[in-house]
Structure 1
Amino acid sequence: MRKLSQLISVVLHPIFVPLAAVIIFFYKLPIYFDSSVIYSKIVATLIVSVLLPLVFLYFFKTLKLISSFELPTSKERRLPLLFFMMLDLVIINYIFELYNYQYLFYFFWSLLLASMVVFIALFFRFKISLHSLGMSSLLTFLIILSFNFQLNFIYSIAFLVMCLGLVSSSRLILKAHVPSEVIVGVVLGVITQLTIPIFKYYKM
């Protein structure tokens, strides 16, 4: 069970959530974009949100700033999370501008807001689960798209609900978090993503 939980934690790692959201946006919505634009945006997201974090985590480990890639302590999570927030700002400012990519623009702003809360919580030795936060953010994002575009994503939503349950259970089995940290991660992911319709309709 432990090995299966480790596999689930890797496959459903929060580092893949931004890329998954971008793929959902381009391939599940009835909005036309040139194929070259789609390709360039996906590749850019892959580089900034997946490859660069992996490179820097390896760099941090080499310098012994972290003991493992799982970032087991609150103190070890601070510097990587700060770096990830900087990368999020790069995506917001240079990859998905508001005019053409409104939903993704607000999605990444919501992730940044959630990351700030997680970062602050670390100083109180409370490790909010990034796995549950990431998956609940992606799930809420898909539900918002389904509602706003009047599209039936029921199977995709059900799949993400299952993924959320699996990854949350896996984090508890691995004792990476206590239940409250997983629950707060889920709630935080939902609440911050709900800023998408708030920003969209009220232009806050």
Structure 2
Amino acid sequence: MNTRFAQILSALLHPLAMPTIIFAVLFYIAPESIHNLELFNGTSRVGMMSLKLGLLLLIFLQTFVLPVFSIYALYRFKIISDLKMETLSDRRVPYLVTVAIYTFVAVFFTFKLHQFPEVSLILTSIAFSISAVAFISLYWKISAHAVGISGTVGALMGIAIKFGTVALFYPVLIAIVVAGFLMSARLYLNAHTPAQILAGTILGITVSLSVVMFFI
């Protein structure tokens, strides 16, 4: 692995991109795992888009674009010194802002789009994971990348097991392999220690897998 590849992998698989990836896989590979999705997708549209695409775009805007814009604003106003947020001091405020955004998104889906309870529960689990990362980051630099990718693995694996969704076998396998490469990349870049990667992995997979298995 070289530095350039590790940097590209870290950027493409940023923790904020994980919700969009999770729901893209579920919506288009295992839509039966989302209650009412196919029913409403056949009868409702969002402008010129299908309901699935509209929901995915909404999730992308709320969980990726809005937090990224907020973090960039913090950088422009010199509240943080580096967009890479490699130090604890640079991570604290952006994480708290991200927690607020993700909590709002989870509440929005829970009460405004309650036709899709699986979506709101998965988003709630993600918000909880980010809250845990934000709290831990007050004292210690846990790997958010590890939390994000392992949470993705846990969510997809949990749904595949609980619903017997054979179509998710290869996505789960690919996610596990990609997680290995991503964690190796973070170690290669000296962004985290093995302990920080391990802690992030345990946190991400425990929260997502538990929510899917016990609440969905």
Partner of 1:144: 158
Q: Secondary structure at the match of 1:168?
A: helix
Which AA in structure 1 matches 2:184? S
Structure 1 position 7 matched with structure 2 position 8: yes
Partner of 1:43: 57
Decide which of 97, 106, 111 is 2:126's aligned counterpart. 111
Decide which of 206, 212, 215 is 1:191's aligned counterpart. 206
User: How far is the alpha carbon of 1:51 from its aligned partner?
Assistant: 1.1
Structure 1 position 34 matched with structure 2 position 41: yes
Deviations 1:58-93 (A, max 9, x none): 111111122222101112111111111111122212
User: How far is the alpha carbon of 1:38 from its aligned partner?
Assistant: 1.6
Partner of 1:64: 78
Decide which of 86, 95, 115 is 1:100's aligned counterpart. 115
User: How far is the alpha carbon of 1:96 from its aligned partner?
Assistant: 5.0
Q: Secondary structure at the match of 1:140?
A: helix
Which AA in structure 2 matches 1:157? V
Which AA in structure 1 matches 2:213? P
User: How far is the alpha carbon of 1:173 from its aligned partner?
Assistant: 0.8
Which AA in structure 2 matches 1:91? V
Q: How many residues align?
A: 199
For the Cα contact (< 8 Å) 1:12–1:163, is it kept in 2?
no
Deviates more, 1:150-159 or 1:135-144: 150-159
Query: Which whole-Å CA distance do the structure 1 matches of 2:170 and 2:150 have between them?
Result: 16
What residue ranges of structure 1 are gaps of 5+ in the alignment? none
For the Cα contact (< 8 Å) 1:133–1:189, is it kept in 2?
yes
Which AA in structure 2 matches 1:100? Q
Deviates more, 1:138-147 or 1:96-105: 96-105
For the Cα contact (< 8 Å) 1:44–1:95, is it kept in 2?
no
Which AA in structure 1 matches 2:170? Y
Deviations 1:42-61 (A, max 9, x none): 12111111111221121111
Question: Could you state the TM-score of these two structures normalised by the residue count of structure 2?
Answer: 0.86
Query: Which whole-Å CA distance do the structure 2 matches of 1:106 and 1:81 have between them?
Result: 21
Structure 1 position 159 matched with structure 2 position 174: yes
Deviations 1:117-151 (A, max 9, x none): 21221222x11111111011011111111112211
Query: Which whole-Å CA distance do the structure 1 matches of 2:203 and 2:193 have between them?
Result: 16
Structure 1 residues 48 and 40: alpha-carbon distance in aligned structure 2, compared to 1, 3 A threshold: same
For the Cα contact (< 8 Å) 1:92–1:108, is it kept in 2?
yes
Decide which of 61, 75, 79 is 2:93's aligned counterpart. 79
Question: Could you state the TM-score of these two structures normalised by the residue count of structure 1?
Answer: 0.91
Q: Secondary structure at the match of 1:66?
A: coil
Identity between Structure 1 and Structure 2 (%): 22
User: How far is the alpha carbon of 1:39 from its aligned partner?
Assistant: 2.5
